[in-house]
Structure 1
Amino acid sequence: MATPLEDVGKQVWRGALFLADYLLFQRDLFQGRTVLELGAGTGFTSIIAATAAQTVYCTDVGADLLAMCQRNIALNSHLTAPGGGGVKVRELDWLKDDLCTDPEVPFSWSEEDISDLYGHTTILLAAEVFYDDDLTDALFKTLFRLAHRLKNACTAILSVEKRLNFTLSHLDVTCEAYDHFRACLRQLEQLQDGQLRFAVEPVEAAFPQRLEYERIRQLVGALAGRC
């Protein structure tokens, strides 16, 4: 059965487990770093990142979803890196250019948060958020906008599962959402804006599997580094 669009963030998808395995394999890459996760859903990947990172900004939209993230993070707070800043749950809407700073809005950003985000973030994460073309476009625009504002060079680590479907428009089995994701990656790599450039490379699925899920060949990872 298909998951309703409004509920896709309320479960842990296979691509998030795949990304989490990669994070566990690359723990040294996250040691003491500031990390931003986009479209965090349950907060699972942010929790895994926080086992090594200094601070993780776990972001999504919707007060109920963010409250669920907060509960999950609190239940797993014993896993965060010793001496780290833990996981901060914040709202980040890809359809808006600016972060919400209204103190009356749940999970809004403080000026201190924003300064830390732009001043220290070097790793961005996004797992299984490429199921809708409009949202995929919005995410890549957000990545580009953040790359302009971050003080340091950054790397985005993305994961997705290629889901094959029969479509009437093609009268064949296709993976349109994945094809659109790949097209956006190519556009990002070809884009040059002053000194801002991106290098894209695949994540080879040769790293150990530590979590329980079926690692099918349709699981795909990519690194997009600002250079």
Structure 2
Amino acid sequence: MEREGGGEDDIVCLDGSFFINDDYQLTKFTFGSQVLELFCLHSASTDFDLTGQLVWPGAMLLNDYLSKNAEILRGCSVIELGSGVGVTGILCSRFCHEVVLTDHNEEVLKILNKNIELHTSSENRNCTGLVAKKLEWGSSTQIKQILDEHSGGFDLVLGADICFQQSSIPLLFDTVAQLLHVRRGQCKFILAYVSRAKILDAMVTNEAISHGMQISEVVGTRTIVGNLEGVIYEITLQ
């Protein structure tokens, strides 16, 4: 730790490692007949930007939905936005032929890659086609790099509990729009949304509409997750 200046208005400069908690624990999750083990934190890091080190309620909601409707995954190519530790992408890889997991944070990408390695090791080969990529929402350059490697685009775009910052929601839908346009009419965005503020509820709907998308609630998916209301949305280009 370093101090700059003097007096009452001292500025304390902390090394970035101060915020990082990497005490990951191997944790078991069960979704229907699917049992996953992966490394994650059980409590939040000091740094707000490291929320991806946890498994959030929306991921549990999405995985429960996907495990009950696995037919929508079979043989598909999938890209997940804000993958965090990878619990949703790894589940998908048991049914899909290709799964691209993405996150923007380098520390989160480390644990994401560790979990991919765990599930593609010689002892655990029931997950295939898993790869992690860095993706900042709204970055046309990074999206292009991913699409250059996957020129046919994707059948599904997935997101779980990724709408909790107002500033990120327009960038999220910019990214989704670019991905959906590659396979217009054949690709859809499945979003597990957890309601934390009415202003965010409205932003998600309004951003989808302003990007030329149709947003529909999947019947029967509205439920309580982690003491909050969650729902599955299907979002397509109009």
SS of the aligned residue for 1:95 comes to: coil
Aligned equivalents of 1:176 and 1:75: distance in 2? 39
1:27 counterpart = 2:33:
no
Deviation string, structure 1 residues 56-88 (Cα, Å, up to 9, x no partner): 00001122211110111222333645xx4x211
Give me the whole-angstrom Cα distance separating, in 1, the residues matched to 2:230 and 2:125: 26
Which whole-Å CA distance do the structure 2 matches of 1:48 and 1:41 have between them? 13
1:123 and 2:156 correspond: yes
- 2:117 paired with 1:74: yes
1:225 partner letter: T
Question: Secondary structure at the residue paired with 1:94?
Answer: coil
For 2:102, which of 49, 56, 59 is the aligned residue?
A: 59
Q: Take 1:100 and 1:148, find their aligned partners in 2: how far apart are those partners? A: 12
8 A Cα contact 1:201 1:222, kept in partner: yes
TM-score of the superposed pair, with normalisation by structure 2: 0.71
Q: Say whether 1:141 aligns with 2:174.
A: yes
- Stretch of structure 1 that moved more, 50-59 or 22-31: 22-31
Equivalence for 1:185: 208
Matching of residues 207-222 of structure 1 within 5 Å: 214=225, 218-222=229-233
Q: Which residue of 1 aligns with 2:8?
A: none
Q: Residue 201 of structure 1: CA displacement?
A: 1.2
Which of 191, 195, 199 is matched with 1:176 structurally? 199
Greater relative contact order (Cα 8 A, min sep 6): structure 1 or 2? 1
Retained in 2: the 8 A contact 1:12–1:44?
yes
Separation of aligned partners in 2, 1:179 and 1:199: 14
Q: 1:158 and 1:219 mapped to 2: Cα distance?
A: 10
Q: 2: CA distance between counterparts of 1:144 and 1:203?
A: 20
Superposition RMSD in Å: 2.8
Any stretches of 5+ residues in structure 2 without a counterpart?
1-42
Match among 202, 218, 236 for residue 203 of structure 1: 218
In the alignment of these two chains, the number of paired residues is 192
Quick one: which amino acid aligns to residue 223 of structure 1?
Answer: E
Output the CA distance in 2 between the equivalents of 1:100 and 1:200: 22
CA distance, structure 2, for counterparts of residue 27 and residue 143 of structure 1: 22
Q: Structure 1 residues 143, 44: CA separation in 2 closer, same or farther (over 3 Å shift)?
A: same
1:225 aligns with 2:236: yes
Matched residues, percent identical?
Answer: 22
- Whether 1:160 aligns to 2:193 is yes
Flag structure 1 segments of 5+ consecutive residues without an equivalent. 102-108, 165-174, 192-197
CA gap of 1:214–1:130, structure 2 versus 1, over 3 A, is: closer
**Structure-1-length-normalised TM-score:** 0.74
Partners of 1:124 and 1:223 lie apart in 2 by: 10
* Alpha-carbon distance in structure 2 between the residues aligned to 1:201 and 1:65: 31
Larger Rg: 1 or 2? Answer: 2
Counterpart-to-counterpart distance in 1, 2:154 and 2:173: 17
